[in-house]
A and B are shown apart, each in its own frame.
Chain A
Amino acid sequence: MTFRQRHLLGIDPLHPTEITEILDLADKYVDLNRQSIKHSDVLAGLTQINMFFENSTRTQASFELAGKRLGADVMNMAMQASSIKKGETLIDTALTLNAMHPDLLVVRHPHSGAVDLLAQKVNCAVLNAGDGRHEHPTQALLDALTIRRRKGRLHRLNIAICGDIAHSRVARSNIILLGKMENRIRLVGPTTLVPSVFSEFGCEVYDDMNEGLRDVDVVMMLRLQRERMDGGFIPSEREYYHRYGLDAEKLSKAKPDAIVMHPGPMNRGVEIDGDIADDINRSVIQEQVEMGVAVRMAAMDLLAQNLREGVV
């Protein structure tokens, strides 16, 4: 096994071979998940706690299902509603949980770096389910798995990531992962949401979407957060849709077999046209959700193996 991590805090610390190993194992879990009996016992006896300091339905459900299919005892804690409101600090929460001897801790937090901080204080394996604008590693892994299965490879592809790059942890993790796997990355969006500094990460930055999508293999759309829509970063929803919403005309600039991705939940008619999202020949959005469960199973399986072997 080449995967030698104690935690999955981001894509940044991973070696390309470690990424490949997660994806290879995830492929096997895709097959398992498609059978009528989907159970495995690789996490039997282990306790998985999902701590979400920020609202999430999809990611939390995906992690919960992944844990349960592998036989872990899974507990969800809705942190927005609990002790944080009572003034307990993140560190205290971590220490309290640590005393309950969990084996896998899945954490989402609204602040960048908060999951790293928590990981320093606990003895179990920590999985980052999204921290602020920093990283969302399992999303990037599931995107990578989707691309690899559809395109037959995960290198030398032209991939456009479109929308609110500045505030997106999904974008950051994808930029790092796809860069490590030697793809050509284009970032497309208004300069308020795609600052030019991103060109320093080896990406090409476009503010014209028709140019940005020319001949790409993959179009990755990002969700535009409601609070960024009016006035602050873009003039209006309708102007954004006109210039940066993915419609048939803009998509026609991409390669004829280009796939369309979106991490969900979608704003139909804001960043993506409803017909394109539903086009089974182009859109792989449902497949991304399926890959999400498999990738999370793979990541937790590998981390649990390292936990047993005492990898630091």
Chain B
Amino acid sequence: MTTLFTNARIIDPEALTETAGALLVDSGEVKEVLTQDADIAAKKLTAVNFVDCGGKVLAPGIVDIGVKISEPGERNKESFRSAGLAAAAGGVTTIVTRPDTLPSIDTPETLEFVTRRAREAAPMNVRTMAALTKGREGREMTELGFLLDAGAVAFTDGDSVTTNTKVLTRAMSYAKSLDALIVAHPQEPGLSAGAAVTSGKFAALKGLPAVSPMAERMGLDRDIALVEMTGVKYHADQITTARALPALARAKKNGFDVTAGISIHHLTLNELDVADYRTFFKVKPPLRSEDDRTAVIQAVADGLIDIICSMHTPQDEESKRLPFEEAASGAVGLETLLPAALRLYHNDQLTLPQLFRAMALNPAKRLGLASGRIQKGAPADLILFDPDAPFVLDRTRLNSKSKNTPFDGAKMQGKVLGTWVSGTRVFG
């Protein structure tokens, strides 16, 4: 059954272009991108379904690496069902989940449970990352081979850093033999212990325990040395400081298989947003200075930072309505990733193709997925959105069970009009 999307601004993150035209989809795959009026007219005669895009933007669906869905263990915070609704509404067509659940996803059995739950409850592609060490405790590696067979797309201990370098080296070297990807959280844990914000004038004024941004570079430096030693495929989950960028650039220049991501919150907010101890702005690593923020935006534009993610971390009110030091870290982001990212577009800092290179193409490539691009043969994971439509975010209307967004009451632009997964409409 063919569907023709007409009158669209089509984003091609591979060629970094946007073109006016139509898109033909059949059997869940992209068949053809059409730019000539005559070709479009011809296809109109044969297509069964039509979607008039009304001149709005048609882009590859977002591939979001590092989403926490609190199953198993904390379904009161988020379930596959609620996360699925949030993702559909936010234009995320592939969720890549984190294993920092209760218990951790560190055996093929829990991985299979999660895969089954995802299939039952979420209407989009769900891929899972498994823990790198048992219980994410940094002592023994998990059954990487079995987990890979069970469908794990990468291995990570989330934001818990494996301090024992011997354990990490062995896990990396074993992962290398399986050609598996390791996702790590670059941070020197000794320096960042107990910290709630980034050190500097703001932290000093508010009297909050703080970590130097240098801790991120130290963590990255260590990890890159181990990558050089083992040759493993390595992805840094979040690079958020200017000081870490030269190390990242050097590693790439030296030909190591290293990529880096960043959360949308670190691209659109800075440390001052915490203001009077607003715990919805407490994330990990903590929000950085404005200088860091502008530096990492530039790094995304240059392609040095490869991937933008939501780092979706549901926390209920009880975990957040506490004094800042005691409050849990993390913010939900599945539904706000796109409108927040569009702030960078409206501020002329990133183009739409650059944004979708970082939100769709690069994460798909990194995980070896065929999605994340609009070209012949790719899965028809698509989103249609109006980048200009203004709205004021009301957190109570989010689909996530947890409403811990830093954008509550924020004026935003960009509304998803439709989301398609393998050609099937799941939103709009």
Contact = CB atoms under 8 A, between A and B. Distances in A.
B207 A134 contact: yes
Interface in A194-221: 195, 197-198, 200-201
A114 B204 contact: no
Interface in B195-250: 199-201, 203-208
Interface in B306-326: 318, 321-326
Interface of A: 12, 89-91, 109, 111-114, 116-117, 131-135, 166, 169, 172, 195, 197-198, 200-201
B297 to A, nearest CB: 24
B345 interface: no
Contacts of A114: 323
B201 A201 contact: yes
A151 B323 CA distance: 39
Nearest to A176: B205
Contacts of A133: 207-208
15 contacts: A12-B205, A90-B323, A91-B322, A111-B323, A112-B207, A112-B208, A112-B324, A113-B325, A117-B323, A132-B208, A195-B199, A195-B204, A197-B199, A201-B201, A201-B204
A90 B279 CA distance: 14
B256 interface: no
B277 interface: yes
Contact of B321 (A12, A89, A197): A89
Given A116-B276, A116-B277, A169 B207 contact: yes
Nearest to B321: A91
Contacts of B321: 89, 91, 117
Contact of B325 (A112, A172, A195): A112
Nearest first, the 8 closest Cβ-Cβ pairs linking A and B are: A113-B277, A133-B207, A134-B207, A111-B323, A114-B323, A112-B207, A200-B201, A113-B324
Contact of B206 (A90, A134, A201): A134
Given A89-B318, A116-B276, A117-B323, A135 B204 contact: no
Given A89-B318, A89-B321, A197-B199, A111 B204 contact: no
Interface string B3-38: 000000000000000000000000000000000000
A198 to B, nearest CB: 6
Given A111-B326, A197-B201, A198-B204, 20 more contacts: A90-B323, A91-B322, A111-B323, A111-B325, A112-B325, A113-B276, A113-B323, A114-B323, A116-B277, A132-B208, A132-B323, A133-B207, A134-B206, A135-B207, A166-B204, A172-B205, A197-B204, A200-B204, A201-B201, A201-B204
Q: Point out which of A89, A113, A114, A198 has the most chain B C-beta atoms below 10 A from its C-beta.
A: A113
Nearest to A115: B323
Contacts of B199: 195, 197
A197 B207 CA distance: 12
Contact of A197 (B200, B324, B326): B200
Interface of B: 199-201, 203-208, 276-277, 318, 321-326
Contact of A132 (B205, B207, B276, B322): B207
Contacts of A134: 206-208
Contacts of B323: 90, 109, 111-114, 117, 132
A114 B201 CA distance: 20
A113 B200 contact: no
A53 to B, nearest CB: 10
Q: Point out which of A111, A116, A131, A197 has the most chain B C-beta atoms below 10 A from its C-beta.
A: A111
B340 to A, nearest CB: 25
A135 B324 CA distance: 15
Contacts of B276: 113, 116
A92 to B, nearest CB: 9
Contacts of B326: 111
A132 B325 contact: yes
Contacts of B204: 166, 195, 197-198, 200-201
A117 B277 contact: yes
B201 A113 contact: no
A89 B325 contact: no
Contacts of A169: 207
A90 B325 CA distance: 13
A112 to B, nearest CB: 4
A12 B277 CA distance: 14
A198 B202 CA distance: 10
B252 to A, nearest CB: 32
A172 B159 CA distance: 32
B280 to A, nearest CB: 13
A119 to B, nearest CB: 10
A89 B322 contact: yes
A214 to B, nearest CB: 25
A169 B206 CA distance: 10
Nearest to B274: A113
Contacts of A172: 205, 207
Contacts of B322: 89-91, 117
Contacts of A200: 201, 204
A135 B276 CA distance: 13
A132 B324 CA distance: 11
Contacts of A112: 206-208, 277, 323-325
A224 to B, nearest CB: 17
A116 B324 CA distance: 11
B205 A111 contact: no
Contacts of A117: 277, 321-323
Nearest to A111: B323
Contacts of A131: 207
A89 B279 CA distance: 15
Contacts of B207: 112, 131-135, 169, 172
